[in-house]
Amino acid sequence: MHSSTAASLAISRPELPLLESARQTLPGRIIIAVSATALVAACAHVSLHLPFTPVPLTLQDFAVLLVGLVLGPTAAFSAMLLYLAEGAAGLPVFTPQGPGGIAQLMGPTAGFLFSYPFAAAVAGLAGSFKRSTMSSFTSAVVAGTFATGVIFTFGAGWISHTRFLNATAVWYIAVAPFLFGAAAKIVAAAFIFGSTRRWTRS
């Protein structure tokens, strides 16, 4: 039973020795979480305002997927909670297209922001999705696709609720314009994840 559990954990965790070593100490876990929030914050500042929607085009969700894939569900969920807390405290971690702080957590993109802990956790399940016939890249694409679905569901649902929009309207301002970019981000995050795992095995 013990060996079976150990094997299961080995499959579900990223094969990154330095990361695994850092997980073993409290300072290491803090550094990992803060580094993850810094990555998401940096990607949030790569943003483009679109005139037909209150939702900017950013690299934020790419970073959320990558954090989830690399850290696993529990650590990624915690890191994204920390990210939201940093933003609520007024730190410049959200996209500059919004007002920042608490106001951004109540604005039109709040649903997307609040989805990040859950989306990161879902992306972190990539190791659990992996089977003998499924590569790390493929399992990451599957997990990233589900995680992106969580982001769109939270984001579109919030806009629909707060702006009293029907499903068609929400589709055109909160989902459709971002589908191609979302697919590219899933593939990019999965490629980095898969390449990292191959490198650590070589």
Amino acid 8: pLDDT: 42
Burial 106-115 (b: 16+ CB within 10 A, else e): ebbbbbbbbb
Q: What are phi and psi of 96, to 5 degrees?
A: -70, -5
Q: What is the C-alpha separation between 155 and 55, in angstroms, rounded?
A: 9
C-alpha torsion 104→106→107→111, nearest 10: 100
Strands 47-48 and 57-58: antiparallel
The amino acid at 119: A
**191-202: per-residue pLDDT in tens?**
999 887 765 554
Classify residue 148 as exposed, middle or buried by CB count within 10 Å of its CB (0-12, 13-18, 19+).
buried
Both tokens assigned to 103: 């106001």
Domains of the chain by start residue, with CATH: 2-201 (1.10.1760.20)
* CA distance readout (Å), 38 to 30, 43, 79, 124, 195: 12, 9, 10, 18, 22
Q: Which of the pair, 39 or 194, is modelled with greater confidence? A: 39
Give, as one character, the DSSP assignment of residue 56. Answer: P
Identify the three-state secondary structure at position 58: strand
Q: What are phi and psi of 12, to 5 degrees?
A: -85, -10
Per mean pLDDT, which range of 24-28, 114-118, 145-149 is the poorest? 24-28
Q: Has residue 21 got a pLDDT over 90?
A: no
Q: Has residue 131 got a pLDDT over 80?
A: no
Q: What are phi and psi of 166, to 5 degrees?
A: -80, 175
What predicted TM-score, i.e. pTM, was given to this entire model? 0.86
The amino acid at 62: F
Q: Has residue 9 got a pLDDT over 70?
A: no
Over range 178-187, report the average pLDDT.
97
**61-101: per-residue pLDDT in tens?**
999 999 999 999 999 999 999 999 999 999 999 999 889 99
Identify the three-state secondary structure at position 52: coil
Distance of CA 139 to the CA centre of its chain: 15
The H-or-E segment that residue 66 falls in is helix 60-71
Task: State the sign of the Cα–Cα–Cα–Cα dihedral 79, 189, 133, 14.
Answer: negative
**144-178: per-residue pLDDT in tens?**
999 999 999 999 999 999 999 999 999 999 999 99
